[in-house]
């Protein structure tokens, strides 16, 4: 097969692009910034990518200097016909590199939350069933069984056994700290046993989201996080409503705050949790702004809670 | 080197110079624009969808390359069951056994068709693979824990759609659906490296493996990137609620959810969670149509199909699948979900 010069240039460009992608993904893995884009469970697939891309780049680069009788002819894959379309294709591959390098890393904010639809209940919680079961179990007195100093929470549905265990652990805490490792689970557990937790003190950190529908008087806003399932594009924004006491200044949209307050019993027909804020402190955006529903970190956080309880 | 070659070389380098010049001019402005929240949101969506797919595309490309180097030409053509029923069953089984998502599947399917897999079987594999497998089953079961019927309905409906599409295509498509076929390449003998056959040195074999994989990756990757661009732009600029508001009627809600599944291009393991957030807004049938159609057809997937298959074949798939999904989901909602 007689090779002209031009395909060799293309192999060179392709090798450069592959090498660029390998470096980019490698840098993301090395600097731990993958969590900006991926959830832990998809992240682990990424670790081999820099190596594979690098190998592909090296062997594609070899094609630029390979002897003409090289048996890999690549004839089943034709490069695009016109120069313009070639440039377009290379431009496409430069795009992720360019965007990733040139634009600063910023976490998703309230405008993304508004576009996706901010949820005032925890997306993990399968609303219909667990709520119905929870309330019926509550009415029939199954839910609450006083046992010793703590309360035993009986799971209203088989799925919610985990949440019930968590609720039990959380109930023993003097101040319920919403741990980012189990952010969604904690809020789900509290929401599931809303009546039980009414009046308890809770502390959580999140970004400020001001909806058009709430906060007409400026004393109401939401604090929440994005729950990332596989990648940040499928993140679900959710959180709790915060009611400020009269006279307290409302924080800015998108600010990161730590709210301490009591859980309100009467939510006035509104879905989700409402916190009567006692203290709202502005904090720095955490290194990992998103929350995940990861089984490993969940187990770790729960065992940490258990240890804490045993120590007390 | 003759003058035309020199000219060609210049014509390649010139656009890059222009691009570099443009970048130098735009760069300071870009830094100002970086403060724009929409731009950073777009960047996050675009990169996250792309990065999520990259590992699967890489594994798919490597698998396809291995398959190409290991399996002789027309191997599947001789071995694949001649009876459409058996062929479809075999394709469904393949889909269940290989739990790769659609990004990784397309390069592999392309190779399989090259080695003689019939077009209809390729379609069944492509349609059933992303939904009918244990991983997606598990993810859907977690997202719809309170509604186990949704999990089975999703699998059942997906199987129904894949199998019926397979029957339709087996009756309708006779020609090779691939874009370029080896047979069409006259002129030189196809002297391919086979990993276990010829006495090529290991270095050559490794080179062949990765070079083919790189070709496949770049081939499908450009369409993946286009799909990511479109999806990210849509997710950034169009609010989900405005879309949801459009699907108020019982039938239009199906159309809307299918459209949403097509446009959002979610991975089949995460779409169930997104669907469960629409639980209050739409009927279960409409949600089901989202869950079944989304993994089968979406922006990036259709664009990637175009990298391997003839436009006619892809258009046929795009026309056949949505009505089938609608029928399946409507019937399921009517008779199985109370």
Residue A243 has pLDDT above 60, yes or no: yes
CA distance B178 to chain A (A): 11
Domains of chain B: which residue ranges? 38-238+301-311
Name the residue among B8, B38, B52 with its Cβ closest to that of A42.
Answer: B52
Residue to substitute from A79, A226, A230, A290, interface B, most B β-carbons within 10 A = A230
Residue A256's pLDDT is 92
Residue B128's pLDDT is 87
Domains of chain A: 5-105 (no CATH), 111-311 (2.40.50.140)
Residue B243's pLDDT is 67
Residue A124's pLDDT is 67
The span from the CA of A252 to the CA of A210, in Å, is: 9
Residue A51's pLDDT is 92
Residue B31's pLDDT is 59
Indicate the DSSP class of residue A233.
G
Nearest to A118 by CA among A259, A240, A270, A260: A240
Residue B190's pLDDT is 43
CA distance A129 to chain B (A): 6
Q: pLDDT tier at A144 (50, 70, 90 boundaries)? A: very low
Q: Which residues from A are below 8 Å from B37, CB to CB?
A: 106, 109, 111-112
Nearest to A258 by CA among A233, A229, A284, A236: A284
pTM, to two decimals? 0.78
H or E element at residue B250? helix B250-264
Mean pLDDT of chain A: 77
Q: Cβ of B211 and A53 within 8 Å?
A: no
Q: Check if A130 contacts B (Cβ < 8 Å).
A: yes
The span from the CA of A22 to the CA of A53, in Å, is: 5
Q: Check if B243 contacts A (Cβ < 8 Å).
A: no
The span from the CA of B283 to the CA of B262, in Å, is: 18
- Alpha-carbon distance values, A112 to A172, A277, B89 (Å): 36, 25, 43
Q: What angle do CA B219, B224, B230 make, to 5 degrees?
A: 140
Which two three-digit tokens encode residue A39? Answer: 């959830």
Residue A142's pLDDT is 44
Give yes or no for a contact between B328 and B185, defined as CB atoms under 8 angstroms apart. Answer: no
Give yes or no for a contact between B183 and B267, defined as CB atoms under 8 angstroms apart. Answer: no
Name the residue among B145, B192, B238 with its Cβ closest to that of A126.
Answer: B145
Nearest to A111 by CA among B333, B219, B338, B240: B240
CB pairs A-B closer than 8 Å:
223
- Neighbouring-strand partners of residue A203: A177, A260
Residue B61's pLDDT is 86
Q: Check if B278 contacts A (Cβ < 8 Å).
A: no
Residue B216's pLDDT is 83
- DSSP result, B175-232: S--BSS-GGG--SS------TTTS---HHHHHHHHHHHHHHHHHHHHHHHHHHHHHHH
Residue A16's pLDDT is 92
Residue A9's pLDDT is 82
Q: Check if B17 contacts A (Cβ < 8 Å).
A: no
Q: What is the pLDDT of residues A77-99, one digit of tens each?
A: 454 457 777 788 888 899 888 88
Q: What angle do CA A36, A274, A225 make, to 5 degrees?
A: 0
Q: Which residues from A are below 8 Å from B40, CB to CB?
A: 103-104, 106
Q: pLDDT tier at A156 (50, 70, 90 boundaries)? A: low
Q: Cβ of B50 and A96 within 8 Å?
A: yes
Indicate the DSSP class of residue A241.
E
Residue A24's pLDDT is 92
Q: Which stretches of chain B drop beneath a pLDDT of 70?
A: 1-16, 18-19, 22-35, 99-102, 145-146, 173-174, 179-200, 243-248, 269, 277, 279-281, 337-338
Q: Cβ of A49 and B54 within 8 Å?
A: yes
Radius of gyration of chain A (CA): 26
- DSSP result, A91-157: HHHHHHHHHHHHSPP----HHHHHHH--BSS-TTS-HHHHHHHHHHHHHTT-SEEEETTEEEEPPSS
Residue A32 has pLDDT above 60, yes or no: yes
Q: What is the pLDDT of residues A199-216, one digit of tens each?
A: 889 999 999 988 776 655
| Least confident residue range of A20-34, A283-297, B15-29 | B15-29
The span from the CA of A248 to the CA of A176, in Å, is: 23
Q: Cβ of B47 and A99 within 8 Å?
A: yes
Give yes or no for a contact between B270 and B135, defined as CB atoms under 8 angstroms apart. Answer: no
In this structure, chain B runs to a length of: 338
Q: What is the pLDDT of residues A95-118, one digit of tens each?
A: 888 888 887 777 888 888 888 888
Q: What percent of chain A has pLDDT over 90?
A: 11
| Residues whose CB is less than 8 angstroms from the CB of residue B33 and which lie 6 or more positions away in sequence, other chains included | B39
Residue to substitute from A233, A235, A236, A293, interface B, most B β-carbons within 10 A = A233
The span from the CA of B309 to the CA of B292, in Å, is: 22
Q: pLDDT tier at A57 (50, 70, 90 boundaries)? A: very high
Q: Which residue has the higher pLDDT, B8 or A168?
A: A168
Virtual torsion, Cα A201, A205, A208, A209, nearest 10 deg: -80
Q: Cβ of A73 and B188 within 8 Å?
A: yes
Residue A154's pLDDT is 56
Q: Cβ of B38 and A111 within 8 Å?
A: yes
């Amino acid at each position: 097969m007689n090779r002209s010069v031009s395909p060799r240039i293309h192999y060179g460009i392709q090798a450069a692009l592959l090498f660029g992608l390998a470096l980019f993904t490698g840098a993301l893995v090395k600097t731990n910034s993958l969590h900006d884009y991926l959830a832990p469970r998809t992240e682990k697939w990424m670790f081999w990518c820099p190596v594979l891309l690098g190998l592909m780049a090296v062997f594609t680069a070899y094609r630029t200097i390979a002897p003409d009788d090289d048996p890999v002819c690549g004839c089943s894959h034709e490069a695009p016909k016109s120069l313009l379309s070639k440039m377009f294709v290379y431009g496409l591959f430069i795009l992720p590199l360019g965007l990733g390098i040139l634009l600063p890393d910023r976490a998703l904010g309230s405008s993304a939350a508004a576009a996706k639809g901010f949820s005032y209940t925890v997306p993990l919680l399968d609303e219909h069933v667990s709520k119905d079961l929870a309330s019926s179990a509550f009415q029939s007195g199954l839910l609450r069984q006083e046992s010793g100093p703590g309360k035993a929470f009986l799971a209203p549905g088989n799925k919610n056994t985990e949440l019930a265990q968590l609720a039990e652990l959380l109930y023993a805490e003097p101040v319920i700290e919403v741990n980012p490792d189990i952010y969604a689970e904690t809020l789900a557990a509290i929401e599931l046993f809303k009546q039980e937790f009414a009046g308890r003190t809770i502390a959580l950190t999140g970004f400020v989201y001001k909806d058009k529908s709430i906060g007409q008087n400026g004393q109401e806003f939401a604090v929440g996080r994005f729950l990332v399932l596989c990648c940040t594009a499928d993140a679900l924004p959710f959180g709790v409503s915060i009611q400020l006491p009269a006279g307290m200044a409302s924080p800015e949209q998108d600010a990161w705050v730590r709210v301490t307050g009591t859980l309100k019993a009467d939510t006035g027909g509104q879905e989700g949790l409402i916190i009567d804020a006692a203290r709202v402190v502005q904090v720095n955006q955490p290194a990992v702004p998103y929350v995940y529903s990861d089984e490993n970190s969940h187990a770790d956080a729960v065992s940490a809670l258990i240890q804490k309880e045993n120590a007390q | 080197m003759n003058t035309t070659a020199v000219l060609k070389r210049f014509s390649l380098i010139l656009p890059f110079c222009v691009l570099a010049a443009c970048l130098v001019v735009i760069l300071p402005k870009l830094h100002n624009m970086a403060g724009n929240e929409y731009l950073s949101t777009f960047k996050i969506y675009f990169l996250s969808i792309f990065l999520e797919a990259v590992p699967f595309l890489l594994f798919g490309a490597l698998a396809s390359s291995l398959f190409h180097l290991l399996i002789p030409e027309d191997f599947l053509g001789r071995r694949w069951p001649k009876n459409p029923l058996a062929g479809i069953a075999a394709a469904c089984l393949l889909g269940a056994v290989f739990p790769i998502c659609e990004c990784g599947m397309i390069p592999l399917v392309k190779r399989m068709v090259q080695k003689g897999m019939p077009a209809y079987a390729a379609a069944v594999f492509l349609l059933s693979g992303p939904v009918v497998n244990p991983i997606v089953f598990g993810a859907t079961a977690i997202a719809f824990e309170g509604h186990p019927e949704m999990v089975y309905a999703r699998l059942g409906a997906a199987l129904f759609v894949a199998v019926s599409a397979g029957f339709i295509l087996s009756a309708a498509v006779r020609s090779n659906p691939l874009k370029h076929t080896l047979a069409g390449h006259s002129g030189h003998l196809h002297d391919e490296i086979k990993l276990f056959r010829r006495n090529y040195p290991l270095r050559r074999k490794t080179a062949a493996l990765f070079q083919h994989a790189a070709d496949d990756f770049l081939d499908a990757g450009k369409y993946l990137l286009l799909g990511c661009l479109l999806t990210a732009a849509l997710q950034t600029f169009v609010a989900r609620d405005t879309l949801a508001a459009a699907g108020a009627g019982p039938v239009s809600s199906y159309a809307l959810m299918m459209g949403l599944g097509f446009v959002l291009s979610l991975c089949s393991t995460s779409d169930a969670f997104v669907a469960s957030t629409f639980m209050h807004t739409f009927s279960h049938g409409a949600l089901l149509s989202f869950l079944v159609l989304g993994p089968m057809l979406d922006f990036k997937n259709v664009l990637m199909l175009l990298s391997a298959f003839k436009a006619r074949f892809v258009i046929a798939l795009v026309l056949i699948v949505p009505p089938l999904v609608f029928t399946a989901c409507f019937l399921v909602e009517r008779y199985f979900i109370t």
